[in-house]
Amino acid sequence: MTDHPLLDAESVARLVQANHILFAQGVVDGLGHVSVRHPSRPERFLLSCNRAPAMVRPEDIVCYDFDGNAVTPDAPRPYLERFIHAEIFRARPDVMSVVHSHSPNVIPFGATRQRLRPIFHMAGFLGEGTAHYDMRDAAGDTDLLVRNPELGRSLAEALGGCTCVLMRGHGSTTVGTSVEQAVYRAIYAEVNARLQSQAMGMGEVTYLTPREAQLAAEANDSQIQRSWDLWCRSVQKA
C-alpha cells in the first residue's frame, strides 16, 4: 500500500516510528493511535489501520479525508476513533500531528478536572494548563469513544488552541506542529502528570510561570530531534 501516490514514504516511515516509540515509552499499549497530516495534501491525513501501535507496519498506513473516509484503495478496517484526528485537523490548520492515548497518570486529571500544569521545564508546552472534555456535555451517556464526526467536532472545540485536552473517563489527546513534537508532548504530558501528582501530595506546588513555560517550550522544541533519534534507536534495538 505504501507505493500509492497518496502515501508519502517519508511520512509513513516517521508515523510507523511514532507508533513504536509511543508504545516503548508507555504512552500507548494495545490501544491508542497517532496521525500526521499529509505533507502536500493538507485536507488529508495518514493513520494506521486498526492495529496495536507496537505492531504497525508501513503497509498498515492509510490516507483518510476529514470525514474519516479512507481514500487509499482496499483499506483495512479503520480505527473507530479516527474522527478525533479528522476533526482536529479540520479545526486546527496549525496542527500537523495528533496523538490519542490512555496514558495512566494523565487519566486522574481528566476525572477530577484538575489542570495539568507544567511542573518542570520539559513540559513547558503545557503553558497555563490543559483543556477538558466531558462527552456527557455533548451526547449524554455513551461508551466514551469518539466514534463519529459530531463527537470529533465537540472534542476539537474543547481542545481550542491548547496543546492537550484531557478526556474525562477516557484519556487524552495531544497535538503538535510535527509528528516528532506531538510524540514528545504526549510522552512528557504523561511524565508531568506523574510528577505533578507526586508534588500535589507533598504540599503546595510552584508551577512554571507562563513566561517560563513559553521560554522552556521554545528551548525544548529546538532539541526534540535529539530525543527523537534516541527513541528511534531504542525501538530499533528492541
Q: Does residue 103 sit within a domain? A: yes
- Look at residue 3 and tell me if it is in a domain: no
For 19, 154, 196, the CA distances from 83, given in Å and listed in that order, are 18, 11, 30
Neighbour-count burial of 147, counting CB atoms closer than 10 A to its CB (0-12 exposed, 13-18 middle, 19+ buried): middle
Residue 166 lies in a domain: yes
- Total domains in the chain come to 1
Query: Cell numbers of 71, please?
Result: 481514500
Closest CA to 108 of 183, 28, 192: 192
Task: Say whether pLDDT at 41 is over 50.
Answer: yes
Q: Which of 10, 81, 204, 212 is catalytic?
A: 81
Is 83 contained in some domain? yes
In a domain, residue 161? The reply is yes
What's the pTM value of the predicted model, to 2 decimals? 0.95
Domain with 124 in it: what CATH number?
3.40.225.10
Tell me which residue range forms the domain holding 50.
Answer: 9-233
The model's pLDDT over 168-226, given as tens digits with 9 standing for 90+, comes to 999 999 999 999 999 999 999 999 999 999 999 999 999 999 999 999 999 999 999 99
Annotated active-site residue 81? The verdict is yes
Residues with Cβ within 8 Å of residue 26, at least 6 apart in sequence: 103, 190
pLDDT digit string, tens, across residues 88-137: 999 999 999 999 999 999 999 999 999 999 999 999 999 978 999 999 99
Question: Does residue 33 lie within any of the structural domains?
Answer: yes
Is 238 within a domain? no
